[in-house]
Structure 1
Amino acid sequence: MLGSRKLRAAVIGTGGIAQQSHVPALKSAADEVEVVAAVDVDADRLARFQATNLIETGYRDVAEMLTSEKPDLVHVCTPPAAHVAPVEQCLRAGAWVLVEKPACLSLAEFDRIAAAETEGGAYASIVCQHRFGSAGRHAAELLSSGELGRPLVADCRTTWYRGHDYYEVPWRGKWRTEGGGPTMGHGIHQMDLLLALLGDWAEIRAMAARLDRDVETEDVSVASVRFESGAVASIVNSVLSPRQESYIRIDCTDATVELTHLYGYGNEDWRYTPAEHVTDPARIGRWRTPPGQERSSHAAQLERVLDAMRDGRRPPASGADARRTMELVTGLYRSALTGTSVRRADLTAEDPFYHDLHGEVPDWAPTREGAEA
């Protein structure tokens, strides 16, 4: 669609995630992409980002950048509450978008993004980098093909540690600006990968608590999920865990597949254990030999977005594919804050949680002091 010329890219929001993850991804695609501009409301931060990354042109205003630069692709790296408006602006200007997770603070906002897309592009892809490592794609293929047997039981844990100082950043730990706690901001990575491996979910039952951090949101959540396939899974999301780990385990009729890592995985982080009745070494060897050596990363996802741009098709981690993860997060909060089981089909526009993950539920959990009393 774009011939042989390089794509023109811009970055909106020049804080830590832009520098740590999006810039390396763009550099990895330097043969195809040229970063022509950066945007930030903070002039000093913008200037530092430009100087560090040799980006000549900077803007304080998204609309001005879109009019002047006409980018093909925009990376949106602002804090969560400031995602939707620039994503809509970019899409309506004809620019494709890679937006940092979480893409928005509610299903209502997600549907605003979808409404701004155009058939055949521009589209918005949400950062879900753990889907795109070689070993993750291989595991998804094995599971979907039935090579590992029928999925039965799964365990999905994001047990990370974020100290009190982490929440000194003003927008963190607040419903209106971060959307939620570790469920929304941290565990969403592993939950998205779990869905990529197991498919559609059907029902969720959850609890959330605010046990130690001085925040409005939860600092830990636990859930039980039933999938359309009949498989069941347990989920834990925490920022209170000194020994940090990201972990997924899926027990199937013919094998157990496990992933243990922290912020990104390689092939060596996956393990396959055959059931006693599976003895064919060639079959087991196929499980343990992913094609390729690609680590999960923003760069791995960007490569697939660029492929989709060239073909004029919807990129992965967009549309209904990405909405499913936001539905699971919404269902978890709705279940935890109302004490009820939630079916995926319950999450309609008439539900308060469609519009707000807090659901305007008063006094949903004890304060830290109350929990300690």
Structure 2
Amino acid sequence: MAERHRAAYRALRDDVELVAAADVDEARAVAFCAATEHAKPYRDLETLLAEQEPDLVSVCTPPGLHVEQTKMALERGAWVWCEKPPCRSLAEYDEVVAAERDGGPYVSFVYQQRSGAAAAHFRNLLAMGKLGRPLVAHCQTTWYRDAGYYAVPWRGRWATEGGGPAMGHGIHQMDLLLHLLAGDGKQAGEWAEVQAMSARLVHDVETEDVSTALVRFESGALATVVNSVLSPDEVSRIRIDCELATVELTHLYGYVAENWRYTLAPHNAQVETAPVRDFGSSHTAALKPVLDAYRARRRPPCGGADGRRVLEFVAALYKAAFTGQRVRRGEIRPGDAFYRSMAGVDAA
């Protein structure tokens, strides 16, 4: 992830300068900085913040460290661009947001699948009524991870990763689905309730390795969600059936406009299905609005309530799977075990 962040900074080199990097593995920090123009390596974030006083900090560490490191940067006055998942629970998310200040510093989380031009184009078509109402949707993240992947000590554990593929893999596609459908008027609105199942079928881990969910949106639209790390034929897919068109996005880790397929209803007028200017989903595309928000001293996208939406959905998915109950948006609040941990227990 740090390499992807560095590539994004390099692509926007006219706006940013990479000044330092920290890693507990000193050799890795030195090697990372050697590939930059003059960044200085550090063994810990606290020393880096004290000496460099950066404007923006990328957090590319395991999820269990996100809260501590993000709060440390915010307290030093630095904005934060933090990798997914944001943290391990809604309680941790609210703790981070509470450390922000009006006008900044703010934290933005990396949901880069929102960033492609084709996603914005779909939202525009939907808002203008050219696709009709969303009715049925499917969100699929079916990837493959072997035992070697879970040999990394922090993976597959509630206390350090915060969850399984729903948390660490499918969160990108689920965030994109919720982003595409959120809004008033012609959109489906926010998700309203979820029913779910999860299982640990292959891997010797604490968390699940597959989950499925049924979702109802405020408009009444329905969706299915599948997250898996058991699938040799890897794919990321979103399909949305609207009144006037079916729209399908099929890719793996990123997309461009040609990965989107529009099938118009026979009676639908011709719709321009490609954005005027295409750019793919990427860390670079996701970073630019963060920098724009920094200059304007306003909250960036994928932070605050906007960044919390998908994390609340994931918490509801886990609660529904573990309790067998239907879970409604807004019901997981302080005092609820699933507010403190995606497993419904203290993440200690």
Normalised to the residue count of structure 1, the TM-score between the two structures is 0.89
Is the Cα–Cα contact under 8 Å of residues 80 and 108 in structure 2 kept in the other structure?
A: yes
1:273 & 1:310 partners in 2: Cα distance?
40
User: Which residue does the alignment assign to 1:226?
Assistant: 216
Is the Cα–Cα contact under 8 Å of residues 106 and 357 in structure 1 kept in the other structure?
A: yes
User: Which residue does the alignment assign to 1:92?
Assistant: 75
Correspondence 1:246 to 2:236: yes
By how many angstroms is 1:289 displaced?
Answer: 2.1
* Amino acid paired to 2:130: E
- Find the residue that maps to 2:292 and give its secondary structure: helix
Correspondence 1:172 to 2:155: yes
Is the Cα–Cα contact under 8 Å of residues 132 and 244 in structure 2 kept in the other structure?
A: yes
Match of 1:41 among 9, 24, 40: 24
Normalised to the residue count of structure 2, the TM-score between the two structures is 0.95
Match of 2:227 among 233, 237, 244: 237
- Find the residue that maps to 1:247 and give its secondary structure: strand
2:106 & 2:128 partners in 1: Cα distance?
29
Is the Cα–Cα contact under 8 Å of residues 56 and 80 in structure 2 kept in the other structure?
A: yes
By how many angstroms is 1:60 displaced?
Answer: 1.8
2:176 & 2:285 partners in 1: Cα distance?
14
- Find the residue that maps to 1:331 and give its secondary structure: helix
1:94 & 1:352 partners in 2: Cα distance?
32
Correspondence 1:138 to 2:138: no
By how many angstroms is 1:349 displaced?
Answer: 0.8
Correspondence 1:192 to 2:192: no
By how many angstroms is 1:258 displaced?
Answer: 0.7
Is the Cα–Cα contact under 8 Å of residues 18 and 39 in structure 2 kept in the other structure?
A: no
By how many angstroms is 1:55 displaced?
Answer: 4.2
By how many angstroms is 1:72 displaced?
Answer: 0.5
User: Which residue does the alignment assign to 1:60?
Assistant: 43
User: Which residue does the alignment assign to 2:104?
Assistant: 121
Is the Cα–Cα contact under 8 Å of residues 38 and 55 in structure 1 kept in the other structure?
A: no
Which structure 2 residues correspond to residues 213-292 of structure 1 after superposition, within 5 A?
213-278=203-268, 280-281=269-270, 284=271, 286=272, 288-292=273-277
Cα shift readout 1:63-97 (whole Å, capped 9, x = no counterpart): 22112111111100011111111101111211111
Backbone CA RMSD of aligned residues: 1.1
By how many angstroms is 1:61 displaced?
Answer: 2.3
1:307 & 1:347 partners in 2: Cα distance?
33
Cα shift readout 1:287-317 (whole Å, capped 9, x = no counterpart): x121211110010010110111111111111
* Amino acid paired to 2:330: A
* Amino acid paired to 1:101: K
Residue ranges of structure 2 left out of the alignment (5+ in a row): 183-189
Correspondence 1:51 to 2:41: no
Cα shift readout 1:229-272 (whole Å, capped 9, x = no counterpart): 21110000000001000000000111111100000000100011
1:65 & 1:166 partners in 2: Cα distance?
30
Higher helix share: 1
Cα shift readout 1:271-296 (whole Å, capped 9, x = no counterpart): 11111221x23xx2x2x121211110
- Find the residue that maps to 1:301 and give its secondary structure: helix
By how many angstroms is 1:152 displaced?
Answer: 0.4
1:145 & 1:355 partners in 2: Cα distance?
40
User: Which residue does the alignment assign to 1:297?
Assistant: 282
- Find the residue that maps to 1:74 and give its secondary structure: strand
- Find the residue that maps to 2:159 and give its secondary structure: helix
2:93 & 2:112 partners in 1: Cα distance?
19
* Amino acid paired to 1:32: D
Aligned residue pair count: 339
1:140 & 1:244 partners in 2: Cα distance?
26
Cα shift readout 1:84-115 (whole Å, capped 9, x = no counterpart): 11101111211111000001000000001101
By how many angstroms is 1:142 displaced?
Answer: 1.7
User: Which residue does the alignment assign to 2:58?
Assistant: 75
Moved more, 306-315 or 239-248: 306-315
Cα shift readout 1:4-47 (whole Å, capped 9, x = no counterpart): xxxxxxxxxxxxx101x111111111011000011111212212
Which structure 2 residues correspond to residues 347-362 of structure 1 after superposition, within 5 A?
347-360=332-345
Is the Cα–Cα contact under 8 Å of residues 158 and 187 in structure 1 kept in the other structure?
A: yes
2:150 & 2:209 partners in 1: Cα distance?
11
Correspondence 1:23 to 2:6: yes
Residue ranges of structure 1 left out of the alignment (5+ in a row): 1-16, 362-373
Is the Cα–Cα contact under 8 Å of residues 125 and 316 in structure 1 kept in the other structure?
A: yes
- Find the residue that maps to 1:83 and give its secondary structure: helix
